[in-house]
Structure 1
Amino acid sequence: MSDLKERYLKAQQEERKKQLEKHSKTIKDFITLCSEIGLKLTSENFSYIETIGIVAKYPNLLFHLKPELKKVDEELIECKSLEKHFEKKNFNSGMLYSDKFIAMAHPYFRRSLSEYANFAPRFIDLFWKFKDDKVKTYIALDANRVRINVDDSAYSELDTWYGGSFKKQIEKISDGVVKIRPPGQLDETDISFFFNEAYSLDIKWNEKSGIKTFQAEEFKTDKVTINIGAIEYYPVRYIHAEYDIKNKHFRHFDGAIHFYEKDEYFQRRDSDLNFNEKIGTHLKARTYKLFKMNKNVSIDTWITYTSHFCTGNPLVFEYFEGKYPDHIQNLLNKIVNKASG
C-alpha cells in the first residue's frame, strides 16, 4: 500500500506540474493584469487544484480585482448585484465567470470546509439555480482565490443527498428544543460512512409577536476540525429562519458556520440550544455567515435549502420526514437482526 500511495502522490505532483506548464501563458497574463492594479504576484501565488483548476491566491484578491463589489452584511454580497459583473453557467455551479478570471463561492461550502475539495452537493447547485423575484438572496464568496483558466472545464462527482417535504403547519409546531442523534447501535465506521460524521442535530422553535423563529446547529464528531490561523476549531453548521405566521412564509433565512474551540465544543454538543440560558454565562461561537434569503421565502424553499446545507446528514431527513431514508433503515434492521440472532 505504501508503494501504491507513493506512486499516487508522484502522479499528482506530475499532473500539477504539467497543468501549470500548460497554462504558463495564462498565469503570466494574470500576473500582468494584477500588476496593473498594484498587486505583485509571482509563480508562488499559483497552484493547480484538481477539483477547481488553475488558482491564484492572494489576500482579498477578488475585491482587488472587482473593487465595485460591495458587502452588505458581514461577508455577504447581494446575488442580484453579481449579475452585473459575472455570468453563471448551469454546468458549473459555484463559479462566476468574467473575461479574465472566475470568482467562486466561499470554500466553506466545500466538502469538509476544505478549500481543496469540490462543493458539497447539492446546496450550491440549488442556490446557483434559485430564481424567485419575491426573494432577495446573498452569498459569501472566496475572497482570497480566483480561478484563472476561464474555460468550460468542470470537476463533477456523484453523491447521495436527502431532502424532505414539510407538511405540517408551522404555526402549530410547539415552542421548544429538539435533539436528534444517530442510533446507538452504530459504531464509528457506520456513523462516518452513513451519517457523514454527524454527532447530533439541535433544533429550537420560538414564537414572539407573530414570528416563529427556527434555529438549528449540526454537530459533527470530534474528528472534524478546521484550523484558522494557529487555532483548531470544531465547525458547526448553523441555520436561522423567521416565519411570518400571518403571511405564511419565511421573511428571513440564513446559514452560517459556528466555530467552537475544543472546550466549548465538548460543553455544547451534549446540551441543546437552550445551553446559554442553562449555564447563565453565554457561550458565543465565532461565526462566519455563508448565505441569506430575505422577504418571501416559501416553506418548500426553506426545507430544500436546509436539507442540502446539511449535506448527507440523515438526521435532517429524520426531522422533516419522521423516519430514516430507506437505506439507513435497512442498515439498522440488519444490525438489530444480527445482534438478536
Structure 2
Amino acid sequence: MSEIKERYFKAQQEEKKKQLENHSKTIKDFISLCSEIGLKLTNENFSYIQTIGIVAKYPNLLFHLKPELEKVDEELIECKSLEKHFEKKIFNSGMLYSDKFIAMAHPYFRRSLSEFANFAPRFIDLFWKFKDDKVKTYIALDANRVRVNVDDSAYLELDTWYGASFKEQIEKIPNGVVKIRPPAQLDETDISFFFNDAYSFDIKWTEKNEIKTFQAEEFKTEKVTINIRGTEYYPVRYLHAEYDIKNKHFRHFDGAIHFYEKTEYFQRRDSDLNFNEKIGTHLKAKTYKLFKMNENVSVETWITYTSHFCTGNPLVFEYFEGKYPDHIQEILNKIGKKASG
C-alpha cells in the first residue's frame, strides 16, 4: 500500500510540474497583468490543482483585479452585479469567466470546505442556474484566488444526492426546537459513510409580527475540523430564513458557516438552539456568510437549497420527509438485522 501511495504522489507531482510548464506563458502574462495594477506576483504564487486548474493566490487578489466589485453584506456580492463583469458557463458551475482570469465561488462551498476539492454537488450547480426575477441573490466569492487558464476545462464529479420535499404549511409548523441524531446503533464508521459525519441537525422555529423564523445548525462529528490561521475550529453549517405568513413566501433566506472553538463545540453540540437562553454568558461563534436570497423566495426553493447546502446528510432529509432516503433505510435495516441476529 505504501508503494502505491508513493507512486500516486509522485505522479501527482509530475502532473503538477507538467501543467505549470505547459501554462508558463499564461502565468507570465498574468504576472504582467498584476504588475500593471501594482501587484508583485512570482511563480511561487501559482499552483496546479487537479480539481480547478492553474491557480494564482494572493491576498484579496480578486478585488485587486476587479475593484469595482461591491460587497453588500459582509462578504456577499449581489449576483446580478456579477453579470456586468463575468460570464457564466452552464457546464462549469462555480466559475465566473472574464478575458484574463476566472473568478470562483468561495472555497467553503467545496467538499469538506477544502480549497483543493471540487465544489460539493449540487448546491453550487443549482445556485449558478437559479433564475427568478422575484428573488435577489447574493454569494461569497474566493477573494484570494483566481484561475488563470481561461479555457473550457472542467473537473466533473457525479453526485446522487437529491433534495427533499415538504408538504406542511409553514404557518402551521409548531414553534420550538427539534434535534435530530443518527440512529444509536450506528458506529463511527457507519456515521462517516452513510451520514456524511453528521452528529446532529438542530432546528428552531419562532414567530413574531406575522413573520415565522427558521434557524438550523448542522453539526458534524468531532473529527471534522478546519484550521484557520493556526487555530482549529469545528465548522457548523447554519441556515436562517424568515417566512411572511400573510404573503406565504420567505422574505429572506441565507446560509453561513459557524466556526466553534473546541470548548464551544462540545458545549453546544449536545444542547439545542435555545442554548444561549439557558446559560448566563452567550456563546457566539465566528460566522462566515456564504449566500443570501431576498424578497420572494418560494417554499420549494427554501427546501431545495437547505437540502443541498447540507448535502449528503440524511438527517435533513428525515426532517423534511419524516423518513430517511430509501437507500439509507435499506442499509439501516441490514445493520439492524445483523445486530439482532
TM-score range (shorter-chain normalised) is: over 0.9
CA shift at 1:160, angstroms? 2.1
User: 2-side partners of 1:325 and 1:307: how far apart?
Assistant: 12
* Corresponding residue number in structure 2 for 1:326: 326
Secondary structure (helix, strand or coil) at the match of 2:6 reads helix
- Letter in structure 2 aligned against 1:265: Y
Q: Counterpart amino acid of 1:80?
A: K
Measure, in 1, the Cα distance between the counterparts of 2:13 and 2:205.
Answer: 50
C-alpha separation between the residues in 1 aligned to 2:77 and 2:243?
23
| One-letter amino acid matched to 2:157 | E
Contact 1:180 1:201 in 2 (8 A): yes
Q: Secondary structure at the match of 2:303?
A: helix
Equivalent residue number for residue 172 of structure 1: 172
- 2: CA distance, partners of 1:291 / 1:49: 25
Distance (Å, rounded) in 2 between the aligned partners of 1:327 and 1:132: 33
> Corresponding residue for 2:212?
212
1:95 positional shift: 0.1
Task: Show the counterpart of 1:22.
Answer: 22
Aligned counterparts of 1:163 and 1:77: Cα–Cα separation in 2: 26
Does the Cα contact within 8 Å between 1:162 and 1:317 map onto a contact in 2? no
What does residue 245 of structure 1 align with? Answer: 245
Match of 1:271 in 2: 271
- How much does 1:234 deviate? 0.2
Code of the residue aligned with 2:274 in structure 1: it is N
Unmatched 5+ residue regions in structure 1? none
| CA offset digits 1:232-289 (Å, max 9, x no partner) | 0000000000000000000000000000000000000000000000112100000000
Provide structure 2 residue ranges, at least 5 long, that are not aligned to the other structure.
none
Q: d(CA) in 1 for partners of 2:82 and 2:92?
A: 16
User: Match for 1:42: what amino acid?
Assistant: T
What SS does structure 2 have at the residue aligned with 1:206?
strand
Q: Which residue of 2 aligns with 1:311?
A: 311
SS of the residue aligned with 2:278?
Answer: helix
When structure 1 is superposed on structure 2, of 155-164 and 188-197 the one drifting more is 155-164
Q: Deviations over 1:95-145 (max 9, x none)?
A: 000000000000000000000000001100000000000000000000000
In the alignment, what sits opposite 1:289? 289
Q: Separation in 1 of the partners of 2:61 and 2:340?
A: 59
Contact kept, 8 Å, 1:240 with 1:253, in 2: the verdict is yes
In 1, Cα distance between the equivalents of 2:140 and 2:336?
44
In the TM superposition, structure 1's runs of 4+ consecutive aligned residues that sit over 3 Å from their partners are: none
Structure-1 separation of matches of 2:70 and 2:131: 21
Partner of 2:78: 78
Instruction: Percent identity, please.
Output: 89
For 1:85 and 1:249, how far apart are their aligned partners in 2? Answer: 31
Aligned to 1:160: 160
Q: Given residue 171 of structure 1, which amino acid in structure 2 is its aligned partner?
A: E
- CA distance, structure 2, for counterparts of residue 42 and residue 223 of structure 1: 36
The answer on whether the counterparts of 1:164 and 1:307 sit within 8 Å (CA) in structure 2 is: yes
Q: Secondary structure at the match of 2:206?
A: strand
Name the aligned partner's letter for residue 236 of structure 1: V
Are the counterparts in 2 of residues 162 and 313 from structure 1 also a CA contact under 8 Å? no
Aligned equivalent of 1:48: 48
SS in 2 for 1:72: strand
Check the 8 A contact 1:105/1:139 in 2, yes or no. yes
- Work out whether residues 199 and 219 of structure 1, in 8 Å CA contact, stay in contact via their aligned partners in 2: yes
RMSD: 0.5
SS of the residue corresponding to residue 14 of structure 1 reads helix
* TM-score normalised to structure 1 length: 0.99
Aligned match of 2:88:
88
